[in-house]
Structure 1
Amino acid sequence: MPYLNERMQSCVDECLRCYSVCLSTAMNHCLEVGGKHVEKNHFTLMMACCEMCRTAAHFMLLGSPHHRHTCRECAEICTECADDCERIGDMQECVEACRRCAESCRQMAA
């Protein structure tokens, strides 16, 4: 996509990767394991993270100047999600995807 610079394309990629990893982790791993993995606060946070990542990517792909706002919020939610997944344990792929996305989104929000 020629209108996206390399840094923005990288952020889109991280957002979509995080969306995919969190959604598949929540739908497959968390639902199968149960217990603390499906507690309302944790599961809701994971779903919010998925949606925020998708939304941030969408705003960047649209070329909207408001992507800075969505990226700032995405970074915050991804950080919170990574911390919570780390707290629960056995979700390292999600933790890493969220941390990479948060860092990339922080850079885009600046």
Structure 2
Amino acid sequence: MHHQSAAMKECIDNCLNCYRECLSTAMSHCLDMGGEHTKPAHFRLMMACAEICRTSAHFMLIGTEHHKHTCRECSEICRECADDCERIGDMASCVEACRRCAQSCERMAA
């Protein structure tokens, strides 16, 4: 069994939380709100963010060194998603989840 550091375990949790937050926010809140919330660029960004978070968590869980690459990309997409959700407004928990994930993924990518 491959050993996961405390930082990696935290990152996995942050990624899975961000995946859940982005997906559920997009599918419930954004679809209900419409307007800016469902513009294609924003909606695609939220879907991309959810998917890269899930993938990064998966790569860390299976113990491949490639997690450094997915985590680097994940950090970038999470920051972009956080900024866009903040710009649109009324998505504080999504913004927070994205920022937390971005920070821990940055550490894992280093």
The normalised TM-score by structure 1 is 0.98
Using the TM superposition, give the Cα deviation of residue 3 of structure 1 relative to its aligned residue in structure 2, in angstroms: 1.9
- Runs (5+) with no aligned partner, structure 2: none
Inter-partner Cα distance in structure 2 for 1:48 and 1:2: 28
Q: Taking every aligned residue pair, what percent have the same amino acid on both sides?
A: 67
Answering whether residue 73 of structure 2 is matched by residue 73 of structure 1, we say: yes
Inter-partner Cα distance in structure 2 for 1:2 and 1:45: 32
Q: What do the CA deviations read for 1:42-94 (whole angstroms, capped 9, x no partner)?
A: 00000000000000000000100010000000000000000000000000000
Contact 2:2 2:63 in 1 (8 A): no
Correspondence for 2:105: 105
SS of the aligned residue for 1:4 comes to coil
Inter-partner Cα distance in structure 1 for 2:2 and 2:45: 34
SS of the aligned residue for 1:74 comes to helix
Contact 2:75 2:102 in 1 (8 A): yes
Correspondence for 2:12: 12
Correspondence for 1:91: 91
CA RMSD in angstroms comes to 1.0
Q: Aligned letter for 1:42?
A: H
SS of the aligned residue for 2:90 comes to coil
* Count of residues in Structure 1 that have an aligned counterpart in Structure 2: 110
Inter-partner Cα distance in structure 2 for 1:10 and 1:104: 7
